[in-house]
Chain A
Amino acid sequence: MVIDAHAHLAWRGGNGWEERDRALIDAADRLGIDKLACSNLCPRRPACPEDFIQGNEWVADSMREYPDRILGYAYVNPGWVREALEEVRRRVGEGFIGVKLYNEYPCSEPVVFQLVELCIELNVPILHHAGYSHYYVAQQPRMSGGVEIAALANRYPEAMIICGHLGGGGDWEWQIKALRSAPTAYADTSGSVVDEGLIEMAVRVMGAERLLFACDMSMTAGVGKVRGAQITEEQRAMIFGGNFERILAKRGGSQ
């Protein structure tokens, strides 16, 4: 079983979304990806409840259309505390497999904590957008880095926190080293960066059992770097899907 732990469906606010979603499924077919764990991020951010609820509704719609292929993350802005908590509880009840957080708040902000506690109660992972660059990223002043993700995971070791895109967020050596000290944190391998040695360092420093294959829409980059890494076949199988299946099993199966 190959599961892409970080994918996105198209926002349906304009033309062409059906073709883009179909193209994602087609790419998964050609690349041997069995399932795609998807969120639908609204273009207007920071997200308001009206928008993130609408995006999640479209994810639910896609889950019905592609029941064997699409797994759903519920995307919320944790700053809308009551609405976000209600939305996550409702969507997990409908079969969503986890929560997606973007960059509205760094994950060190207390406003995120109630959401993490709810995800612990519901036994679902949180995929957190993340990155670290050695300059001020003006477009994303509230982005979480590996240090903040590790701190959150250590605050809540029973949570399943996934640090997003090791290959899409700047200095991946920094991110991997930051996550070393958070033994319960996961990282996904997605992003367009295919630097030789990335996967091997992540396996060496974090352990293969904490890595989740993903593309974040960089499809051949996502598959190619895991395919090319000098790791054991057992480790490769864990990364490609075994680890995510284990996460899904915690709340009763892989849908």
Chain B
Amino acid sequence: MTIDMNAYLGHWPFRRLRHNDAAGLLALMDRAGIDRACVSSASAIFYKNSQAGNEELADQIAGHEDRLIPFAVLNPAYVDWEYDLGVCAEEFGARGLRLYPNYHGYSLGDACCNELVAAAAERGMIVSIPLRQIDQRQRHWLLEIPDVALRDLEGLVERHPQAKFVFLNGLGYTGSRLGRADSGLPANYAIGISRLSAVMADEIGTLVRNLGAERVVLGTGMPFKYPEPALLKVEVLDAPEETKQAILGGNAERLLG
């Protein structure tokens, strides 16, 4: 079972995405050999009311629940997120959240964010945080959104030991507490591989050694990104087959419950 924990549907305002409806994404998954994907709305990142994007996502996923697993984009600084969380979890079947603090104008340390994370944990939902959505060098002239800082994630995982976090589109973990074996941080987070190296510096191999194979998950970033590079990282990783299978899907299955 191959499960991608980092996939999207919908639109990005600054570049035309392909394969960004359900049929297109499923075709891309078939091509790449990906069985299931955790999917959130790319449009919701820019909608003021992100719930409208979650509603679009639910419409797209309908009939494909066996392969597309909804994750909700919620902004805890926007009115009535508590109600939206309930709708996403209970009506749309969302199994997790995607948070965009730097796009939505709040800090991971803000009270509203901590309330949302606690509420998601209460429901057993995964809280995933893409550290970036695009490479900064190719940003649009209207917008400069900094990456989420690794040090801000350290505080978050410490404040919510009962939560389940998945960090996406990041790198450099091995240079922070998050990637160290003796960090003292709770083991409540997993790390997606889309930007990590599997050869030369081999950050994936280091994370597997430091944190355990169960803490690293497949995340491609499709359809923003080709799915093949992330799959290739697992293919060439210098690791036992059981480690590769855990990264490809076993860990995601466990996290999704």
Interface residues of A (CB under 8 A from B): 20, 23-24, 26-27, 30-31, 131, 133-135, 137, 169-173, 192-197, 217, 219-221, 223-225, 227-229
Contact = CB atoms under 8 A, between A and B. Distances in A.
Interface stretch (B104-112, B118-126, B191-199): B191-199
B15 interface: yes
B177 interface: no
Given A135-B139, A220-B233, A23 B199 contact: yes
Contacts of A31: 199, 232, 236
Interface in B223-257: 223-233, 236
Nearest to A170: B137
Given A196-B19, A197-B18, A224 B230 contact: yes
Interface of B: 15-19, 28, 32, 135, 137-141, 144, 195, 197-200, 221-233, 236
Contacts of A20: 200
Nearest to B222: A196
B199 A133 contact: no
Contacts, number: 86
Contact of A220 (B18, B19, B197): B197
B139 A134 contact: yes
A31 B197 CA distance: 13
A173 B236 contact: no
B199 A135 contact: no
Contacts of A23: 199-200
Contacts of A192: 135, 195
A6 B201 CA distance: 18
B225 A30 contact: no
A137 to B, nearest CB: 8
B233 A134 contact: no
Contacts of B232: 31, 220, 223-224, 227
Most chain-B Cβ atoms within 10 A of its Cβ — which of A195, A197, A228? A228
A195 B139 contact: no
